[in-house]
Chain A
Amino acid sequence: MSKKILIADSDLRFSQELSLELLSNAIATDHASIGREAQGLLIKEKYMALVLNYDLENFSSLEVLHFIKNTDPLIRVFMIFNDQKSLDGTDIDKKKDQLGLSDVFLKISDRSKLVSALSDYGAIKISSDVAKNIKAQASLSTTDTVESNESDFFSVEIDHFVTESLASFDTYIKLNPGRYLLLVRKGEALSHERSQNYIQSGMKYFYYKCSDRIELVKKLTTKLSASMGPRLEKPQMVSNLLCKSMDLLFDEIAVNGPQALELAVAKDIIQKTQDIVKSIPDLNILVDEFFSEREALKQHSLLSCLFTSVICQNVEWLSPKMIEEVCLGAYLQNIGLSRLKFATNELAESATEEEKEIHKNHPVTGYRFLQHFPVSEKVRQIVLQHHESCDGQGYPFGLRTTKIYPPAKIVFIANELSELILKNHISPKEAVTKIVESTNFREKYDHELLRSLLKGFIKKKK
């Protein structure tokens, strides 16, 4: 059965408002402003109900009713009156059975009853309170529904978000599978209070188009950076933001490369990497403490770890055990920054000479730090050499090509990739392209490893 309702009323605003309320109950609507138009639509479409204004012009409401009796006697008709006076001037209320009306309502004062009656046909169980909130909060002039594949949208828990950052995106709620209602258009404000109202109404998720995902990650990253002051006032919120941001980024990478299989393996390796750290209790405590104060740095480390894994999967000479060690090196690469209070791995412009020196020496500091724990020399060498560049312009030693420990070259590329994404807010695919097209890439990176990276982003031919 069709879930569409026809609203026949010359009042466009009323029709739009009613449409929005019904859409939030998964009921689509059409609108006719005159009787002739309503009849035309009733011929073309099958409707489950008709909302008919008694004062309709150009074919009166009674003419429309007569037409329906002959063409679609099963359709339920709800007649509405502009006000009590208009209703009192007729005997429609008494004759409603005779006329085949399901019910009679006053347009303004009875609207919630009307919505409730119509929503009995609805497909999803959103409470009427939600509908009320949507109606009250949304900008009613911008209603819209989208029918689309579920894979075109992604969800975000409403309470995971700092709401002002979301005004940059079209924000939807899901009506039923494959159907989304636009709540807020790009550029419109979505206040904290308004989002809280949605939560209180029982809604859990906002939905966004996948094409907006990397932009959303960018906003989250910016918000994260702004939240990383010397005093972290809402650690739980920041932690949630970070988790969500990483999840979205993984999803983005799944869509825009590297290809899904390798991404799944990469996630698995990251998990293993974290498990290795957890298996060394003293190290785990220190690493936890280090990252808890530097969430953005954790994000960078995880992302580096992910890309390291992607490269490793396309490098022939690495054993599975060695891949784990390289990823562990990527994860711990910045542990030497623990002496700095910066939340990110970028040096602040206001950094003192001493801080600059500490930053420059962080690979050595990290190496020394790890000498106190049972991690292999391979992992330590990666931490020590992860900023060495094939052109000899890296640090701390300025080593060139064959003098650099090969696995450290992998982490070097992954590191640059992660920084490009997080700093310039570009997609992983764009970042890879940027690296390979950079003017000095011939000298700076190991070509074979760049090829391994590219292969990870290209779908394998079946």
Chain B
Amino acid sequence: MNHLLIVDDEIDLAQGLASYIEDDNLKVTVCHDAIDGLEKLKLQNFECIVSDFSMPRMNGLEFLKSVREMKLEVPFIIYTGHGSDEFAFEASKFGCFEFVEKPLMTGLLDAIKRAIHQSNRLKESNYEDASLKELNDLLNELKGE
């Protein structure tokens, strides 16, 4: 089962989002504080992190930096409000998988799916073999045309 971490100080929004996207294949853990989120990351593996930018104590960018300091490569999605240009630039330095703008979070669900897919690709030991075989087949097809 895939595991998603949502970090947002707006409790209603985070819970609503979690209940909306959780299903048989996706377990969602919600934290209302980035520091709590870091604690969760020490104990469990996640396939994707979704974080708000504006949060008390530790904002989304600081949270992202801390995740990378823990040597975690997990895809990180941030949703942001207005006036976040400079933050986006800084976040991209630390590898932000996707930026989703508030309040229109239409792309969030798709971004989560892509991020989990990417994350699983890296973990699957036989993924690369299958991927290379498919590439090789396509290349042979191209050459044969």
Could you say which residues of chain A place their CB within 8 Å of the CB of B101? 377
A402-B119 contact, Cβ under 8 Å, with A367-B89, A384-B92, A442-B132? yes
Q: Mark B73-96, 1 if CB is under 8 A from A, else 0.
A: 111000000001100110011111
B99, A377: Cβ atoms closer than 8 Å? yes
B88: which A residues are within 8 A, CB to CB?
377, 380-381
- A257 and B131 CA atoms in complex are apart in Å by 22
- B95, A404: Cβ atoms closer than 8 Å: yes
Instruction: Please provide the chain A residues from 433 to 462 with a CB less than 8 Å away from any CB of chain B in the complex.
Output: 433, 436-437, 442, 447-448, 450-451, 454-455, 457-459
A433 touching B94, Cβ below 8 Å: no
Q: Is B128 an interface residue (CB 8 A)?
A: yes
Asked if A271 lies at the interface with its beta carbon under 8 angstroms from chain B, I say no
Contacts of A257 in B (CB 8 A): 142, 145
Query: Which of B95, B98, B107, B113 contacts A399, CB < 8 Å?
Result: B95
B91-129 at interface with A (beta carbon < 8 Å) = 92-99, 101, 107, 110, 113-115, 118-119, 121-122, 128
Interface residues of A in 305-327 (CB under 8 A from B): 317, 322
C-alpha gap A371/B87 in the complex (Å): 12
A405 within 8 A of B: yes
Residues of B within 8 A of A380 (CB): 88
Q: Report yes or no: A436 in contact with B85, Cβ–Cβ below 8 A.
A: no
* Contact in complex: A457, B142 (CB < 8 Å): yes
Asked if B43 is an interface residue, CB under 8 A from chain A, the answer is no
Q: Would you call B95 and A447 a contact (CB within 8 A)?
A: no
Quote the shortest CB–CB distance from B4 to chain A (angstroms): 14
Interface presence of A95 (CB below 8 A): no
Contact B135–A451 (Cβ < 8 Å):
yes
Cβ of B143 < 8 Å from any Cβ of A? Answer: yes
Q: Does B62 contact A (CB under 8 A)?
A: no
Q: Is the CB of B138 within 8 A of A451?
A: yes
Tell whether A163 is near chain B: CB-to-CB under 8 Å: no
A399-422 vs B, Cβ < 8 Å mask (1 yes, 0 no): 111111110000000000000000
Instruction: Decide: A436 and B139 in contact? CB cutoff 8 A.
Output: yes
State the interface size on chain B (CB cutoff 8 A): 36
With the chains together, A406 CA to B114 CA distance in Å? Answer: 9
Q: Which residues of A contact B98 (CB under 8 A)?
A: 405-406
Main secondary structure of the interface of A (DSSP, over half): helix
Q: Are B135 and A450 in contact (CB under 8 A)?
A: yes
B residues within 8 A CB of A447?
A: 128, 131-132, 135
Distance between Cα atoms of A401 and B97 in the complex (Å): 9
Closest to B74 in A: A402
Bound together, the chains give a CA A66 to CA B141 distance in angstroms of 64
A383 CA / B84 CA spacing, docked (Å): 17
Cβ–Cβ contact A403 & B95, under 8 A? yes
**Nearest CB in chain A: distance from B59 CB, A:** 17
Closest residue on chain B to residue A432 by CB atoms: B142
In whole angstroms, what is the CA distance A447 to B131 when docked?
A: 7
Given the interface contacts A406-B114, A429-B142, A442-B128, does A454 sit within 8 Å of B99 by beta carbon? no
Distance in angstroms between the alpha carbons of A432 and B85 in the assembled complex: 36
Query: Which residue of B is nearest A322, CB measured?
Result: B107
Q: Which residues of A contact B96 (CB under 8 A)?
A: 403, 405
Who on chain A is nearest to B138 by CB? A454
Cβ of B134 under 8 Å from chain A: yes
B97 touches A403 (CB 8 A): yes
Chain B: minimal CB distance from A4 (Å):
39
With contacts A381-B88, A442-B132, A447-B132 taken as known, whether A403 is within 8 angstroms of B94 at the C-beta atoms is: yes
Chain B residues whose C-beta falls within 8 Å of the C-beta of A454 in the assembled complex: 135, 138-139, 141-142
A458 touches B114 (CB 8 A): no
Q: A458 with B73: in contact, given A317-B110, A436-B135 (CB under 8 Å)?
A: no
A305 to B31, CA, bound (A): 41
**B-to-A contact residues, CB < 8 Å:** 73-75, 84-85, 88-89, 92-99, 101, 107, 110, 113-115, 118-119, 121-122, 128, 131-132, 134-135, 138-139, 141-143, 145
Given A404-B95, A429-B142, 15 more pairs with CB closer than 8 A: A317-B113, A377-B101, A378-B99, A384-B92, A399-B92, A402-B122, A406-B118, A442-B132, A447-B128, A447-B131, A448-B131, A451-B138, A454-B141, A454-B142, A458-B138
Query: Can you list 16 A-B pairs with a CB-CB distance of less than 8 A?
Result: A317-B113, A381-B88, A384-B92, A399-B95, A401-B73, A402-B95, A402-B122, A404-B95, A405-B92, A406-B97, A447-B131, A447-B135, A451-B134, A451-B135, A454-B142, A457-B142
